[in-house]
Amino acid sequence: MITLGVEEEYLLLDPVTALPAPLVHAVREEAGLQPTAEEQEVQTELLQAQVEVVTPVCTDLAEVGGHLLRLRHAVGAAAERVGCRIAACGAAPLAGRFPAPVTEDPRYLALRRRAPQLVAEQLVNGMHVHVGVPDKDMGVAVLNRLRVWLPTLVAMSGNSPIWDSGDTGFASWRTVVFGRWPVSGPPPSFEDTGDYERRLKALLDARVIADTGQVYWQMRLSERYPTVEIRCLDVQLRVDDAVMFAGIVRALAATAIREEKEGCPVPRIAPELLYAANWHAARYGLGGTLLDPEGRRRSAGDVVCALLDHIGPALEEAGDTREIGSLVHRLLREGCPADRQRRVLASGGLKALTAFITAQSTET
């Protein structure tokens, strides 16, 4: 069974004004005192109005869900005690006019010197799924085979429509914000592990990036763990949606590993089509059409169903078919989280939206 680990980033918001609250150090210290969250599971992020949680290595989806609930409740309770709330949304509703201070870390401070405006607007939050791979060669094979499905995952996970108190028109504004960094978006196709490492070295040698942590591709080999890290997902409002994506990503990785061992052809798509598909997915979410892995325009529902067909055997083998199928069908009925945010904003305004996001973030 392929192992899993999940990282989630949350905003810290003032419950009255909905402004970003730069209280990560207080929240982390408070959460670290609780028996339900170990210190290394609650971490700082680029900006002081963000906090990150990290699950232990998991072998099944029940474990993932249990750890995420535990961590959300621990960090949420700590945030309440220091005067703010956690918000599991992909972008800060009032981020545009109210930048948060940078966390006092040498790497983050260097980023601010290099790109001050980008850092000031980096109040965006993702969900990263790590899937275990036996070695780097298989990891690169997974990258090559999974990349064509990244736009579908972006569309399904869109949870960042509001920025500077207004609707951006995008389901995932976070995708657009991250796409402004030098090395971002879907990764290229690689010839082999040597090609992957040569490309990283070329970026470092050219001083385009200061370290490999600044490779912001939507999917990459982890530098710290024997995993492939999928980074294209907005953080999810609800824990069960986060669990759904963990299960989908693991099934995609398992399918890629099986196809590589069987010698199946690697999916091919022109780079410009893949980048366009990614932008289109971030713009429209599940609200219309998507470009499928071959670059053809189809209804969003048809592409999501094609994804389920593609990973069906892997879901069955892991015992996840019923759970993932039920959650995906709910997603297709309700729309992506961006659609739910928009409905609340339209009916109750920014105050209602803030209450909705913060309540959903710690709901069981």
pLDDT at 98: 67
Residue 299 in 3-state DSSP? strand
Residues 232-266 have pLDDT tens digits of 999 999 999 999 999 999 999 999 999 999 999 99
CB-count burial class (<10 Å; 0-12, 13-18, 19+) for 163: buried
- Listed in sequence order, the residues at least 6 apart from 333 whose beta carbon sits closer than 8 Å to its beta carbon are none
Q: How far apart are CA 125 and CA 11, in angstroms?
A: 7
Q: How many residues in the chain?
A: 364
Q: How many CA atoms lie within 13 A of 118 on its CB side?
A: 15
Asked if residue 247 is part of any domain, the answer here is yes
Question: Is 298 in a helix, a strand, or coil?
Answer: strand
Q: Is 298 part of a structural domain of the chain?
A: yes
- pLDDT of 39 higher than 70: no
Which CATH number is 136's domain given?
3.30.590.20
Q: How many domains does the chain have?
A: 1
Q: State pLDDT tens for residues 164-180.
A: 889 999 999 999 999 99
Q: Measuring CA to CA, which residue among 96, 92, 101, 97 is closest to residue 25?
A: 101
Per the domain annotation, does 60 fall within a domain?
A: no
Angle in degrees, CA 32, 123, 99, rounded to 5: 105
Structural domain includes residue 1? no
- Is 213 within 8 Å of 107 (Cβ atoms)? yes
According to the model, what pLDDT value does residue 299 have?
98
Lookup result for tokens 């969003």: 300
CA distance linking residue 122 with residue 117, whole number of Å? 9
Exposure b/e, 166-199, CB count within 10 A at least 16 = b: eebebbbbbbbbbeebebbbbbebbeebeebeeb
Residue 195 in this model has a pLDDT that exceeds 90: yes
Q: Which amino acid belongs to residue 190?
A: F
Closest to 10 measured CA to CA, from 2, 325, 1, 20: 20
Domain presence at residue 36:
no
Indicate whether 296 belongs to any domain: yes
Interval 107-131: pLDDT, tens: 999 999 999 999 999 999 999 999 9
Structural domain of residue 246, as residue ranges? 100-361
Q: Considering only CA atoms, which of 124, 130, 125 is closest in space to residue 230? A: 130
Residue 11 forms part of a structural domain: no
CB contact at 8 A, 285 and 171: yes
Residues 50-104 have pLDDT tens digits of 999 999 999 999 999 999 999 999 999 999 999 999 999 999 998 766 678 999 9
